[in-house]
Amino acid sequence: MGIAMQTTGTASILAENLINMVLGRHVFLLVLMIGVMSTIFSLVMTNVGAIVLLAPLVIEMASIAGVDPRPLVLLAAVCVANSFILPTHQVNAFIISPGNYRNIDFIKAGSGMTLLFLLVAVGFFYLVMI
């Protein structure tokens, strides 16, 4: 899927449209955008599928912005593990029945964890990039 995005030019088109939102601004916004985008992708698909789709997109965005793509792709790979909000992740689905949890329980507890995870990951990778 990732190779198909690169060869058809879809990654380039998406990257150009996404990068226009943060181009010319502080590089922290680019790092934050990739972290948030990776987190959102992880909520609707598997972690592996999310990074396969995001890697070519992030590489293209980094090349347009003129920054090293390696830390940004690694950030995307780390942030696709940030799926605490919904019981769609394998571990969350594993504990929902025995713990008698509901979706709202995951939203309550997972929102704070997701924000904390995002803050730490984006902060670390931003410090690596500067």
Which of the pair, 14 or 77, is modelled with greater confidence?
A: 77
CB 41 within 8 A of CB 80: yes
Residue of higher predicted confidence among 98 and 2: 98
Q: Average of pLDDT values for 2-25? A: 78
HSE-up of residue 113 (Cα within 13 Å, Cβ side): 12
**In the chain, domain spans:** 2-129
Closest alpha carbon to 12 in 77, 52, 57: 57
Looking at residue 45, what is its pLDDT?
Answer: 83
> What mean pLDDT do residues 93-107 have?
88
- Count the alpha carbons within 13 Å of 84 in the hemisphere toward its beta carbon: 13
* Per-residue pLDDT tens digits for 108-129: 989 999 999 999 999 999 999 8
* Per-residue model confidence (pLDDT) at position 39: 92
Express each pLDDT in 27-86 by its tens digit.
999 999 999 999 988 888 888 888 988 898 899 889 888 999 999 999 999 999 888 888
Q: How far does CA 76 lie from the centroid of its chain?
A: 5
Nearest to 122 by CA among 72, 81, 84, 86: 72
CA 52 from chain centre, in angstroms, equals 11
pTM of the model: 0.85
Q: How far apart are CA 123 and CA 28, in angstroms?
A: 9
